[in-house]
A and B are shown apart, each in its own frame.
Chain A
Amino acid sequence: MKRALIALALAAALFETVGSVHAATLKATLIGLEDDPRLERTRLERAYLGHAGGPAIDGVQVALAEGGFELDAAGATIALSPATARSIEAARAAAQAAEKAGAAVILTDLPADWTLAVADAVKLPVLNVGAPEDSLRQQDCRSRLYHLLPSERMRSDALAQMLTSRKWSKLLLLIGPSPQDQQRAATAQASMKRYGLQVVASKPFKLSTDPRERDLANPLLLTASNAYDAVWIVDSDGEFARGLPYRTVLPRPVVGDAGLVALAWHAQFERYGAPQVSRRFFKAAKHPMTDRDWAAWIAGKTLLALATAIPKGTPANWAQALAKTSVDGSKGLNLSFRAWDGQLRQPLLLTDGQGVIAQAPIEGLLHPTDVLDTLGADAPEKLCKAAAR
């Protein structure tokens, strides 16, 4: 019955028959990439930690389906319609079309610059589920832009906390060739600085078997001639990183994009009712729930929280309520949005891909107001100049 309800609402939204008659339906549009390269079959099969496991719509739909009872009890309805864009212009147009059709919230699973273009094209709140870039939380932040996926900074802070708690303070930093890797390496270094870790050497690497490039490509050569407690690898592509653990000269752990990775979610997380969420997701989407899936799922939970809090709301009511909304992400705490940059506060899981080794914030860490704010840019840093929510 719950499924039917969503399908019905979905159909209604598609045919644009829903006018002002059902003003109380919370309409949302999820804009994704057309022919998303992250979802190519071989890419999905490799299942690199931190990469997409499937389309974002799956997570949102699982959340809405499990909220059927809540919606019924509150007399609320949500209509989710998916859209895809082939270009930044198309993404902008899709957002504007959704706004015109009465959408209250836009969800985006898009690259950072596209996400920003969408946020600037409409007057609606935008829930970013796919772009982890810190720029969207800092210099390019917007008052109506909310982030469900943890930022890169949050992830590197989580790792840095873990290393600090283990007293593994001397790090060998290996950095991939892409501009994204350069950016993420800078973020990682900011986290290392924040937690007092030391980079003993920083080296570029390259995926290659060319003997002339062996200094860049051979893990043994890359990890010789330094003393370090751990190797931190920044590899947005993932292939080189996957092959690094156990191939270092010294018997030291690998962290970053392989070995130990900080993520929003892992399907093997055992606490706080997490296995039930992962199981429901697996049943519906036929693959284990990744951290990207969790971000999409929690976006769906956010829509549910809005619709059930104000069942007869208007887009303006919901937009206003969003900043104060808190959601239960099955990570043991109530999760809320940071007033200064719209990021959803959340614990992160440190995983080796087989299980969850630790949670961040690491136990014992202190913060003047909320220990979750030890992950990512904190208020006093004033990195986002947009008006506070």
Chain B
Amino acid sequence: MKPIPKLPAKAILVASLMSLTGAGACAQGTVYVSSEKDDALTMIDATTLAIKGTIPTCKRGRHLQLTPDRKLMLACSDSGVADVIDPATGKSLRRIPLGEDPEAFDISPDGKTIYVSSEDDAAAVFVDAATGKKLKEVKVGQEPEGVKVGADGKLLYVTSEVASLVHVIDTATGQVVKNIKVGKRPRRMAITADGKELWVTCELDSGVTIVSTADNSVLATLKFEVKGARAQDITPVGIALSRDGKHAFVALGRANHVAFVDVASRKVTDLVLVGKRAWNVALDKDEKRLFVVNGLSDDLTVVDVPGAKPIKTVPVGRVPYGVVVVE
């Protein structure tokens, strides 16, 4: 990858921001789903819930996220890159090298830095989004997975599945400032709207560990229960929070359900049956619909949020992983 000179990179950013404002009128929403074994993104029309097509991309696409300038960014574990795709055209804009076996990432609030979990190197890697240059590599516990930037961008949270830790990393210095012991096999994280709580899904703990972002202490552990399923079979992974921070949606993996949680009381309000091994989740803009990818049934379940009911299941690629809604 050739480093791109700084000035044009900024120009690209400005240009893409402009195209965003230009495309604002386009209300038609699209749901994008990454799948590990297709090297493609599947597009679903958010209104009709019909498949619109696929976008070929890099190999073994996993974590999918929107950049601050509303482009799709997909981490490809086998290609070792992030593919940046313009949702307006469905075309790849550029590929950013992310190092060996990237799994998940998050982006700094200014969009300039990508923080990647590098599963093979047991490291959190800081990558310059414009040049693709590796800025820093922070050693963490084995099999790092979830990556989350704190509300103000100063702290970075990375889970290690093997060490059952959340590493708190100072983004300025690249130092691990704290290792927080959480439940077994921590996977994904979400930060509450007020920025005060970090919710960490723990796959082999059938629960969520709730951490205070103020002092990195564990505030509570929320355990899920599903009628007819044993604790061993409740393996939470994906998590999303409503914009007002009142509701959390947690995919329960092998329990084949999504839990709706009242954030204030930390109580489960609803359980919705979805496909096999519910993995990651995403809400649409008005938070009426929740999209759940089912890793072992190769489909996506659309859930009606107010009614807490599944309304449709759409077949997507092989071993679907991540989901993002663009409206």
Which A residues contact B (CB, under 8 angstroms)? 66-67, 69-70, 72-74, 273, 276, 279-280, 326, 328, 332-334, 370-371
Contact = CB atoms under 8 A, between A and B. Distances in A.
B161 A70 contact: no
A72 B165 CA distance: 11
B232 interface: yes
Contact of A73 (B119, B163, B254): B163
A72 B181 CA distance: 12
Contact of B143 (A74, A276, A333, A370): A276
Of all A-B residue pairs in the complex, the 9 with the closest CB atoms, nearest first, are: A73-B179, A69-B141, A70-B163, A66-B142, A69-B163, A334-B204, A333-B232, A276-B143, A328-B204
B181 A73 contact: yes
Nearest to B185: A328
Nearest to B232: A333
12 contacts: A66-B122, A69-B140, A69-B160, A70-B164, A73-B179, A276-B119, A276-B142, A328-B164, A328-B184, A328-B185, A334-B184, A370-B230
Contacts of B235: 332
B120 A279 contact: yes
A279 B204 CA distance: 22
B162 interface: yes
B179 A334 contact: no
A69 B232 contact: no
Nearest to A283: B120
A276 B77 CA distance: 12
Contacts of A326: 184
A191 B119 CA distance: 40
Contacts of A273: 143, 161
A69 B235 CA distance: 24
Contacts of A67: 162-163
Interface string B117-146: 001101000000000000000011111000
Question: Which one of B140, B162, B184, B230 has the highest number of Cβ atoms from chain A below 10 Å of its Cβ?
Answer: B162
A334 B164 CA distance: 13
B: interface residue count bin: 20 to 34
B184 A70 contact: no
A383 to B, nearest CB: 24
Contacts of B165: 69-70, 73
A65 to B, nearest CB: 9
Contacts of A333: 204, 232
Contacts of A334: 184, 204, 232
A204 to B, nearest CB: 41
Contacts of B184: 326, 328, 334
A73 B176 CA distance: 11
A66 B204 contact: no
A50 to B, nearest CB: 26
B5 to A, nearest CB: 37
A66 B162 contact: yes
A328 B162 contact: yes
A70 B141 contact: yes
A279 B118 CA distance: 14
Interface in B163-215: 163-165, 179, 181, 184-185, 204
A382 B55 CA distance: 59
A278 to B, nearest CB: 12
Given A70-B162, A276-B119, 13 more contacts: A69-B140, A69-B163, A73-B165, A73-B181, A74-B181, A273-B143, A273-B161, A276-B142, A280-B142, A333-B204, A333-B232, A334-B184, A370-B232
A276 B185 CA distance: 14
Contacts of A328: 162, 164, 184-185, 204
A25 B232 CA distance: 32
Contacts of B164: 70, 328
Interface string B206-228: 00000000000000000000000
Given A70-B141, A73-B163, A276 B120 contact: yes
A3 to B, nearest CB: 12
Nearest to B254: A332
Interface string B150-168: 0000000000111111000
Contacts of B254: 332
B320 to A, nearest CB: 15
Nearest to B179: A73
A273 B179 CA distance: 22
A158 B163 CA distance: 30
Contacts of B204: 328, 333-334
A307 to B, nearest CB: 13
Contacts of B185: 328
A369 to B, nearest CB: 9
Contacts of B142: 66, 69, 276, 280
A279 B120 CA distance: 8
A333 B140 CA distance: 23
